[in-house]
Amino acid sequence: MQIERKARIFNIQKYSIYDGPGIRTLFFFKGCPLRCKWCSNPESLERKYQVMYQCKMCIDCGECVKVCPLMIHKMDEQEGVHYVDRSINCSGCRLCEEVCPKKALSIAGEDRLISDLLAIAKEDLPFYQTSGGGVTLGGGEVATQPDFAANLLMECQTVGIHTAIETCGHAPLKSLLKIAEFCDLFLYDMKHIDPDKHLEYTGVRNERILENLMELIERRYQVKVRMPLMKGLNSDSETIRRTINFLMPFKDRSNFQGIDLLPYHKLGVNKYDQLDKIYTVKEDLSLSEEDLDVIEEQIATYDFPVKVIRH
Protein backbone atom coordinates (compact mmCIF):
# COMPACT_ATOMS: atom_id res chain seq x y z
CA MET A 1 0.00 0.00 0.00
CA GLN A 2 1.46 3.36 -1.05
CA ILE A 3 2.04 5.93 1.67
CA GLU A 4 0.46 9.29 0.84
CA ARG A 5 1.84 12.60 2.06
CA LYS A 6 2.01 16.20 0.86
CA ALA A 7 5.07 18.37 0.34
CA ARG A 8 5.48 21.93 -0.80
CA ILE A 9 7.24 21.98 -4.17
CA PHE A 10 8.15 25.05 -6.21
CA ASN A 11 9.38 23.57 -9.48
CA ILE A 12 9.61 20.37 -11.50
CA GLN A 13 12.28 20.03 -14.15
CA LYS A 14 12.53 17.18 -16.63
CA TYR A 15 15.46 16.01 -18.76
CA SER A 16 18.14 17.42 -16.48
CA ILE A 17 21.71 16.20 -17.09
CA TYR A 18 23.47 18.21 -14.36
CA ASP A 19 22.11 16.79 -11.10
CA GLY A 20 23.20 13.20 -10.90
CA PRO A 21 23.94 10.51 -13.48
CA GLY A 22 22.03 10.24 -16.74
CA ILE A 23 18.79 11.98 -17.63
CA ARG A 24 16.86 12.98 -14.53
CA THR A 25 13.63 14.49 -13.27
CA LEU A 26 14.13 17.12 -10.56
CA PHE A 27 11.63 17.98 -7.86
CA PHE A 28 12.46 21.21 -6.02
CA PHE A 29 11.39 21.44 -2.36
CA LYS A 30 10.44 24.80 -0.82
CA GLY A 31 12.21 25.96 2.32
CA CYS A 32 15.91 26.30 3.15
CA PRO A 33 17.89 26.97 6.35
CA LEU A 34 20.67 28.80 4.45
CA ARG A 35 20.66 32.28 2.96
CA CYS A 36 23.46 32.08 0.41
CA LYS A 37 24.22 35.48 -1.06
CA TRP A 38 24.41 34.02 -4.58
CA CYS A 39 21.28 31.83 -4.40
CA SER A 40 19.72 31.36 -7.84
CA ASN A 41 16.37 30.19 -6.44
CA PRO A 42 15.23 32.92 -4.01
CA GLU A 43 11.68 31.56 -4.21
CA SER A 44 12.99 28.37 -2.56
CA LEU A 45 14.12 29.98 0.69
CA GLU A 46 10.82 30.37 2.52
CA ARG A 47 8.30 27.57 2.98
CA LYS A 48 5.33 29.89 2.49
CA TYR A 49 3.58 30.67 -0.80
CA GLN A 50 5.00 33.72 -2.57
CA VAL A 51 3.70 35.99 -5.30
CA MET A 52 6.15 36.41 -8.17
CA TYR A 53 5.38 39.60 -10.09
CA GLN A 54 6.92 40.65 -13.39
CA CYS A 55 6.03 44.32 -13.33
CA LYS A 56 7.25 44.99 -16.88
CA MET A 57 4.59 42.62 -18.21
CA CYS A 58 1.78 44.12 -16.11
CA ILE A 59 -0.81 46.35 -17.83
CA ASP A 60 -2.31 47.56 -14.52
CA CYS A 61 -5.73 46.22 -15.38
CA GLY A 62 -6.59 45.49 -11.75
CA GLU A 63 -8.13 42.07 -12.40
CA CYS A 64 -5.95 40.50 -9.70
CA VAL A 65 -7.10 43.13 -7.21
CA LYS A 66 -10.71 42.10 -7.76
CA VAL A 67 -10.16 38.40 -7.06
CA CYS A 68 -7.54 38.34 -4.29
CA PRO A 69 -9.35 37.32 -1.06
CA LEU A 70 -6.53 38.67 1.13
CA MET A 71 -6.05 42.00 -0.68
CA ILE A 72 -2.38 41.26 -1.39
CA HIS A 73 -2.82 42.93 -4.77
CA LYS A 74 -3.47 46.66 -4.66
CA MET A 75 -3.65 49.65 -6.97
CA ASP A 76 -1.73 52.81 -6.18
CA GLU A 77 -4.52 55.40 -6.22
CA GLN A 78 -2.28 58.28 -7.26
CA GLU A 79 -0.21 56.48 -9.89
CA GLY A 80 -2.87 54.02 -11.03
CA VAL A 81 -0.41 51.14 -10.99
CA HIS A 82 -0.58 47.66 -9.48
CA TYR A 83 1.69 46.55 -6.64
CA VAL A 84 2.03 43.56 -4.31
CA ASP A 85 1.63 44.15 -0.57
CA ARG A 86 4.44 41.97 0.82
CA SER A 87 3.25 42.44 4.41
CA ILE A 88 0.41 39.97 3.70
CA ASN A 89 1.14 36.27 3.31
CA CYS A 90 -0.25 34.57 0.21
CA SER A 91 -2.69 31.69 0.76
CA GLY A 92 -1.81 29.97 -2.50
CA CYS A 93 -5.29 30.19 -4.00
CA ARG A 94 -3.77 31.17 -7.39
CA LEU A 95 -6.80 33.24 -8.42
CA CYS A 96 -4.54 36.16 -9.39
CA GLU A 97 -2.39 33.86 -11.49
CA GLU A 98 -5.47 32.58 -13.30
CA VAL A 99 -6.98 35.97 -14.18
CA CYS A 100 -3.80 37.86 -15.15
CA PRO A 101 -4.15 38.47 -18.93
CA LYS A 102 -0.40 38.98 -19.46
CA LYS A 103 0.86 36.17 -17.19
CA ALA A 104 2.73 38.72 -15.10
CA LEU A 105 1.83 36.85 -11.91
CA SER A 106 2.73 33.39 -10.69
CA ILE A 107 2.64 31.72 -7.29
CA ALA A 108 5.77 30.01 -6.02
CA GLY A 109 4.81 26.92 -4.08
CA GLU A 110 2.36 24.10 -4.60
CA ASP A 111 1.40 21.22 -2.32
CA ARG A 112 1.83 17.94 -4.16
CA LEU A 113 1.10 14.33 -3.23
CA ILE A 114 3.62 11.51 -3.43
CA SER A 115 1.38 9.80 -5.98
CA ASP A 116 1.40 12.95 -8.16
CA LEU A 117 5.18 13.19 -8.26
CA LEU A 118 5.67 9.45 -8.69
CA ALA A 119 3.36 9.52 -11.72
CA ILE A 120 5.42 12.36 -13.22
CA ALA A 121 8.66 10.50 -12.54
CA LYS A 122 7.38 7.29 -14.14
CA GLU A 123 6.57 9.11 -17.39
CA ASP A 124 10.28 9.08 -18.25
CA LEU A 125 11.24 5.57 -17.19
CA PRO A 126 12.62 4.72 -20.65
CA PHE A 127 14.99 7.72 -20.50
CA TYR A 128 16.26 6.70 -17.07
CA GLN A 129 16.81 3.12 -18.19
CA THR A 130 18.77 4.03 -21.32
CA SER A 131 20.87 6.76 -19.70
CA GLY A 132 21.35 5.47 -16.17
CA GLY A 133 19.30 8.38 -14.87
CA GLY A 134 16.53 8.77 -12.36
CA VAL A 135 14.96 11.20 -9.91
CA THR A 136 16.76 13.92 -7.94
CA LEU A 137 15.21 15.90 -5.10
CA GLY A 138 16.57 19.44 -4.72
CA GLY A 139 15.52 22.76 -3.34
CA GLY A 140 15.57 24.71 -1.23
CA GLU A 141 16.55 21.91 1.12
CA VAL A 142 15.04 18.44 0.87
CA ALA A 143 15.75 17.64 4.52
CA THR A 144 13.28 20.30 5.65
CA GLN A 145 10.55 17.83 4.57
CA PRO A 146 12.26 14.50 5.38
CA ASP A 147 9.25 12.18 5.77
CA PHE A 148 7.86 13.08 2.35
CA ALA A 149 11.32 12.84 0.75
CA ALA A 150 11.99 9.40 2.22
CA ASN A 151 8.60 8.06 1.18
CA LEU A 152 8.84 9.45 -2.35
CA LEU A 153 12.32 7.97 -2.83
CA MET A 154 11.10 4.64 -1.47
CA GLU A 155 8.31 4.58 -4.04
CA CYS A 156 10.77 5.47 -6.79
CA GLN A 157 13.09 2.64 -5.83
CA THR A 158 10.15 0.26 -5.75
CA VAL A 159 9.60 0.83 -9.48
CA GLY A 160 13.31 0.70 -10.29
CA ILE A 161 14.13 4.43 -10.45
CA HIS A 162 17.58 5.56 -9.29
CA THR A 163 17.30 8.16 -6.52
CA ALA A 164 19.43 11.13 -5.50
CA ILE A 165 19.12 14.25 -3.39
CA GLU A 166 20.92 17.57 -3.40
CA THR A 167 21.55 18.83 0.13
CA CYS A 168 23.32 21.66 1.89
CA GLY A 169 23.79 19.28 4.82
CA HIS A 170 22.50 21.73 7.43
CA ALA A 171 19.87 19.47 8.97
CA PRO A 172 19.45 17.11 11.92
CA LEU A 173 21.41 13.93 11.19
CA LYS A 174 18.28 11.87 11.88
CA SER A 175 16.51 13.66 9.00
CA LEU A 176 19.33 12.87 6.57
CA LEU A 177 19.50 9.24 7.73
CA LYS A 178 15.74 8.86 7.27
CA ILE A 179 16.19 9.95 3.65
CA ALA A 180 19.44 7.98 3.22
CA GLU A 181 17.65 4.67 3.61
CA PHE A 182 16.11 5.18 0.16
CA CYS A 183 18.74 7.42 -1.47
CA ASP A 184 21.16 5.95 -3.99
CA LEU A 185 23.31 9.09 -4.13
CA PHE A 186 23.88 12.22 -2.04
CA LEU A 187 24.96 15.33 -3.94
CA TYR A 188 26.44 17.16 -0.97
CA ASP A 189 27.31 20.87 -1.06
CA MET A 190 30.52 22.22 0.45
CA LYS A 191 30.18 25.97 0.07
CA HIS A 192 33.16 27.01 2.20
CA ILE A 193 35.54 25.09 4.47
CA ASP A 194 36.03 28.01 6.87
CA PRO A 195 33.19 28.25 9.45
CA ASP A 196 33.39 32.03 9.80
CA LYS A 197 33.36 32.60 6.04
CA HIS A 198 30.53 30.09 5.73
CA LEU A 199 28.56 32.11 8.25
CA GLU A 200 29.29 35.35 6.39
CA TYR A 201 28.23 34.00 3.00
CA THR A 202 25.36 31.65 3.91
CA GLY A 203 24.04 32.79 7.29
CA VAL A 204 25.06 29.59 9.14
CA ARG A 205 28.30 28.03 10.33
CA ASN A 206 29.46 24.77 8.75
CA GLU A 207 30.32 22.50 11.71
CA ARG A 208 27.06 20.55 11.49
CA ILE A 209 27.39 20.33 7.70
CA LEU A 210 30.87 18.83 7.88
CA GLU A 211 29.91 16.44 10.69
CA ASN A 212 26.92 15.17 8.71
CA LEU A 213 29.08 14.70 5.63
CA MET A 214 31.56 12.58 7.58
CA GLU A 215 28.72 10.54 9.09
CA LEU A 216 27.21 9.74 5.70
CA ILE A 217 30.54 8.65 4.27
CA GLU A 218 31.44 6.62 7.37
CA ARG A 219 28.06 4.88 7.17
CA ARG A 220 28.89 3.92 3.57
CA TYR A 221 26.23 5.93 1.78
CA GLN A 222 27.13 7.01 -1.74
CA VAL A 223 28.26 10.64 -1.65
CA LYS A 224 29.49 13.10 -4.26
CA VAL A 225 30.69 16.48 -3.00
CA ARG A 226 29.63 19.55 -4.97
CA MET A 227 31.56 22.79 -4.61
CA PRO A 228 29.83 25.97 -5.80
CA LEU A 229 32.67 28.25 -6.95
CA MET A 230 32.53 32.03 -6.62
CA LYS A 231 35.54 34.09 -7.63
CA GLY A 232 37.04 35.86 -4.66
CA LEU A 233 34.84 34.05 -2.14
CA ASN A 234 35.96 30.42 -2.19
CA SER A 235 38.05 29.90 -5.33
CA ASP A 236 41.51 30.73 -3.97
CA SER A 237 44.13 27.97 -3.81
CA GLU A 238 44.31 27.99 0.01
CA THR A 239 40.56 27.39 0.40
CA ILE A 240 40.71 24.61 -2.19
CA ARG A 241 43.71 23.06 -0.41
CA ARG A 242 41.93 23.10 2.97
CA THR A 243 38.82 21.55 1.42
CA ILE A 244 40.81 18.74 -0.18
CA ASN A 245 42.72 18.10 3.05
CA PHE A 246 39.39 17.69 4.85
CA LEU A 247 38.22 15.17 2.24
CA MET A 248 41.55 13.33 1.94
CA PRO A 249 40.72 10.60 4.51
CA PHE A 250 37.78 9.55 2.32
CA LYS A 251 39.60 9.54 -1.01
CA ASP A 252 39.87 5.77 -1.34
CA ARG A 253 36.43 4.93 0.01
CA SER A 254 34.37 3.17 -2.64
CA ASN A 255 31.28 5.15 -1.61
CA PHE A 256 32.98 8.55 -2.04
CA GLN A 257 32.40 9.55 -5.65
CA GLY A 258 34.64 12.60 -5.90
CA ILE A 259 33.94 16.26 -6.51
CA ASP A 260 31.81 18.30 -8.89
CA LEU A 261 32.76 21.96 -9.35
CA LEU A 262 29.76 24.25 -9.93
CA PRO A 263 30.86 27.61 -11.40
CA TYR A 264 28.86 30.68 -10.38
CA HIS A 265 26.18 31.82 -12.83
CA LYS A 266 23.59 34.57 -12.85
CA LEU A 267 20.64 32.36 -13.73
CA GLY A 268 17.74 33.36 -11.53
CA VAL A 269 18.91 36.89 -10.69
CA ASN A 270 15.77 38.37 -12.28
CA LYS A 271 13.64 36.43 -9.79
CA TYR A 272 14.76 38.72 -6.99
CA ASP A 273 12.92 41.62 -8.64
CA GLN A 274 9.84 39.43 -8.98
CA LEU A 275 9.86 38.94 -5.20
CA ASP A 276 10.75 42.58 -4.42
CA LYS A 277 14.05 41.39 -2.99
CA ILE A 278 17.53 42.81 -3.51
CA TYR A 279 20.27 40.67 -5.03
CA THR A 280 23.13 41.71 -2.77
CA VAL A 281 25.99 40.39 -4.90
CA LYS A 282 27.35 43.44 -6.70
CA GLU A 283 30.67 42.09 -7.97
CA ASP A 284 31.09 39.57 -10.77
CA LEU A 285 31.76 36.19 -9.15
CA SER A 286 32.18 34.38 -12.47
CA LEU A 287 35.31 32.36 -13.13
CA SER A 288 37.00 32.20 -16.52
CA GLU A 289 37.76 28.91 -18.23
CA GLU A 290 41.40 29.46 -17.25
CA ASP A 291 40.39 29.91 -13.60
CA LEU A 292 38.41 26.68 -13.68
CA ASP A 293 41.25 24.79 -15.37
CA VAL A 294 43.64 25.88 -12.60
CA ILE A 295 41.27 24.72 -9.84
CA GLU A 296 40.51 21.44 -11.61
CA GLU A 297 44.24 20.77 -12.03
CA GLN A 298 44.93 21.65 -8.39
CA ILE A 299 42.37 19.12 -7.18
CA ALA A 300 43.51 16.52 -9.69
CA THR A 301 47.06 16.63 -8.27
CA TYR A 302 45.63 15.05 -5.12
CA ASP A 303 44.33 12.18 -7.27
CA PHE A 304 40.68 13.08 -6.62
CA PRO A 305 37.97 12.45 -9.22
CA VAL A 306 36.91 15.97 -10.20
CA LYS A 307 34.59 17.37 -12.86
CA VAL A 308 33.48 20.89 -13.79
CA ILE A 309 29.70 21.06 -14.32
CA ARG A 310 29.13 23.62 -17.08
CA HIS A 311 25.53 24.71 -17.63
For position 310, what pLDDT does the model report?
A: 78
Ligand-binding annotation for 191, yes or no, is: yes
Domains of the chain: residue spans and CATH: 6-46+110-308 (3.20.20.70), 50-108 (3.30.70.20)
Judge whether residue 248 has pLDDT over 60: yes
Question: Average of pLDDT values for 208-222?
Answer: 98
For position 141, what pLDDT does the model report?
A: 98
Query: Coil, strand or helix: which one is 166?
Result: strand
For position 289, what pLDDT does the model report?
A: 92
pLDDT in tens, 90-106: 999 999 999 999 999 99
Ligand-binding annotation for 131, yes or no, is: no
Ligand-binding annotation for 14, yes or no, is: no
Confidence of residue 4 (pLDDT cuts 50, 70, 90): confident
Question: Average of pLDDT values for 179-204?
Answer: 98
Q: What is the pTM of this model?
A: 0.94
Q: Look at 3 and 289; give whichever has higher pLDDT.
A: 289
HSE-up of residue 187 (Cα within 13 Å, Cβ side) = 23
For position 6, what pLDDT does the model report?
A: 94
For position 1, what pLDDT does the model report?
A: 56
Question: Average of pLDDT values for 56-72?
Answer: 97
Give the C-alpha separation, 25 to 123, whole Å.
10
Ligand-binding annotation for 62, yes or no, is: no
pLDDT in tens, 103-152: 999 999 999 999 999 999 999 999 999 999 999 999 999 999 999 999 99
pLDDT in tens, 279-302: 999 899 999 999 999 999 999 899
Confidence of residue 190 (pLDDT cuts 50, 70, 90): very high
Name beta bridge partners: 162.
134
Judge whether 47 and 38 are in contact, CB under 8 Å: no
Ligand-binding annotation for 156, yes or no, is: no
Ligand-binding annotation for 198, yes or no, is: no
For position 266, what pLDDT does the model report?
A: 86
Ligand-binding annotation for 91, yes or no, is: no
Q: What percent of the chain has pLDDT over 90?
A: 91
Confidence of residue 244 (pLDDT cuts 50, 70, 90): very high
Name which of 52-61, 165-174, 200-209, 262-271 the model is least confident about.
262-271
Ligand-binding annotation for 265, yes or no, is: yes
H or E element in which residue 188 lies: strand 185-189
Length of the chain: 311
Question: Average of pLDDT values for 172-194?
Answer: 98
Ligand-binding annotation for 140, yes or no, is: yes
Give the C-alpha separation, 151 to 143, whole Å.
12
Judge whether residue 2 has pLDDT over 70: no
Give the C-alpha separation, 47 to 43, whole Å.
9
pLDDT in tens, 67-76: 999 999 999 9
Per-residue burial over 105-139, b if 16 or more Cβ lie within 10 Å, else e, is bbbbbbebebebbbeebbebeebbeebebbbbbbb
Give the C-alpha separation, 30 to 145, whole Å.
9
Q: Where are the alpha helices (DSSP H) in 60-183?
A: 63-67, 95-99, 114-122, 125-131, 146-158, 173-180
Confidence of residue 3 (pLDDT cuts 50, 70, 90): confident
Judge whether residue 54 has pLDDT over 90: yes
Ligand-binding annotation for 183, yes or no, is: no
Ligand-binding annotation for 189, yes or no, is: yes
